Structure 1
Amino acid sequence: MNIYQHFRPEEREFIDQVLQWKSYVESTYALKLTDFLDPREQYILKALIGENGEIKYKLLGGSQDAERKRALILPEYLTGNEEDFQITLLEIDYPKKFVTIEHPQVLGSLMSLGLKRGKFGDILIKDGRIQFFAAKEVCDYIKNNLESIGRTSVKITEINLNSSIRSDVLWTDEHVTVSSLRLDTIVSNIHHLSRQKSQLFIGQGLVKVNWTLVENSAFEVGEGDLISVRGYGRAKIMSIEGKTKKEKWRIQVGKQK
């Protein structure tokens, strides 16, 4: 069976990577720790590793409701613990009374250090406080090199994982029935928009899937996808539950309030 046919062509490289990780654990009986994975990558990893084989996986992002998570792939007889995930929590100290720093600025500054996106996890912002999860192997590098965000001087401090900010964002689950898994159809049904309006938003570059801009209305959405529409918030495709008797897709969606 061709395993690639169940996924998108652009995901082939990541599929090969997961299969290499699995093979490594099978042949060495050693743990394999990945970088931070987005929800879609987590879904692919779960599908390829499976639930009942000799190889298993665990996921941890630093907090209970983290979106981006590191995966620990390990032999069935090993347990693995929180320390094995090598996750640190860093807080950004800056003059909060005079400056406002937003998520894109933090992300851009981290990327400008030459780090891969997989080396850090969720960025948390609440009441002027800013934190982010990072892989332990780059923690010292970030502390020593992230000296400013925009024109604002900052200081990076490592704090305990238990001190992470709890987001005020709430997710609500709902079931949606759609005629197809096309992106324009999904956006239209989730946000109660006309098909024409959802196509317009996609064409104008207002829609992202897994943090990547998608301008093709016919793009097929899959399980684990995180869809953001500017001005309308974000939604997760929690599961695709199959077709109804009328050949429509029934999906479970998490919507951000």
Structure 2
Amino acid sequence: MAYSSDKPAAAVRGFVPPQNDEERRLMRRVEELCRVAQARGIPRYTGFLSDREQVLAEASCHRAAFAAFRFWGGYPEAERRILCLEPPQTWQEEPVAFLKMTAQGDDLPGHRDYLGAILGLGLDRACVGDILQDPQSAGVFYAAVLADKQELIAAELTSAGRSPVRAEPCASLPDTLARGPERTLQEATVSSLRADAVLAAMMHTSRGRAADYIAAGRVEINHLPLQAPHAAVYARDIFTVRGVGRYRLMEIGGKSRKDRVFISFFQY
């Protein structure tokens, strides 16, 4: 990426405190898990957390002065991940297990069908991590699940959408999935780092159209509703546009000779 001026120091988004009772409960729960892990010297694990929940969980660990934590979703590029609280010199569990789910027929289930079918077994969303399609077979999906729920789901999951399904435990993801998806890094220039300008560039649409999505309440940044088109954005922000897709703003560069800002991003 060519710049006509020096690259500025990267600004980062500050911590956004909990916005509702559910988020506050999550933070209190994580702090309590930290205290238990520290006092008893035993590992503790949450369920699978979204990006936003991971931010809150990490803040809770810092608040509890507990440094021996990590996030793990079964493979390096996982989006939904478990908070692992593991005091030094203690035994560690493997909290994540995998299922291979195979469907047959003309109307094959997709991600939403599999998620709905698993939750329909009476399980909470925190029991399920990423659900990934095998790129070599449209009828095969893999799911990361809590290790103690693997056998239950394998035994009880018999259909998804309109298709019969065979679910079976597997030791790991295929290498093609474990490496994570190949995403094409795209580049653009924007007139400013306003949300509507950046979103328009990522969606390859007009600024007015992007503002309409925001006004309609269809846009989130880091899993929080975007309230105004003029809101500032930062590197690593994740944009979710309901009905369209998700984008990550990877890098904010310098300015062009026409005083436009270089950005790089990819679409999930």
Partner of 1:7: 17
Correspondent of 1:130 among 134, 137, 141: 141
Give the conservation status (yes or no) of the 8 Å contact 2:79–2:130.
yes
Partner of 2:30: 18
* 1:114-125 correspondence to structure 2 within 5 Å: 114-125=122-133
RMSD: 3.7
Correspondent of 1:111 among 119, 143, 151: 119
* CA displacement at 1:33 relative to structure 2: 0.8
Correspondent of 1:228 among 235, 240, 254: 240
Higher relative contact order structure (alpha carbons within 8 Å, sequence separation ≥ 6): 2
- Determine if the alignment matches structure 1 residue 88 to structure 2 residue 97: yes
Partner of 1:155: 166
SS at match of 1:35: strand
1:15 to 1:109, Cα distance in 2 relative to 1, 3 A:
same
Paired amino acid for 1:187: L
Paired amino acid for 1:100: L
Distance 1:73 1:175 in 2: 40
Distance 2:252 2:237 in 1: 11
Deviates more, 1:183-192 or 1:66-75: 183-192
Paired amino acid for 1:172: L
Distance 2:67 2:95 in 1: 20
Partner of 1:145: 156
Give the conservation status (yes or no) of the 8 Å contact 2:108–2:163.
no
Paired amino acid for 1:37: L
* CA displacement at 1:210 relative to structure 2: 5.9
Q: What TM-score results when the alignment is normalised by the length of structure 2?
A: 0.71
Q: What TM-score results when the alignment is normalised by the length of structure 1?
A: 0.73
- Determine if the alignment matches structure 1 residue 170 to structure 2 residue 198: no
1:224 to 1:55, Cα distance in 2 relative to 1, 3 A:
same
Partner of 1:66: 78
SS at match of 1:106: helix
Q: Which runs of 5+ in 1 are unaligned?
A: 242-249
Distance 1:240 1:20 in 2: 37
SS at match of 1:85: coil
Partner of 1:29: 41
SS at match of 1:158: strand
Tell me the number of residue pairs that the alignment of Structure 1 and Structure 2 aligns.
238
* CA displacement at 1:202 relative to structure 2: 3.4
1:57 to 1:215, Cα distance in 2 relative to 1, 3 A:
closer
Q: Which runs of 5+ in 2 are unaligned?
A: 1-14, 254-260
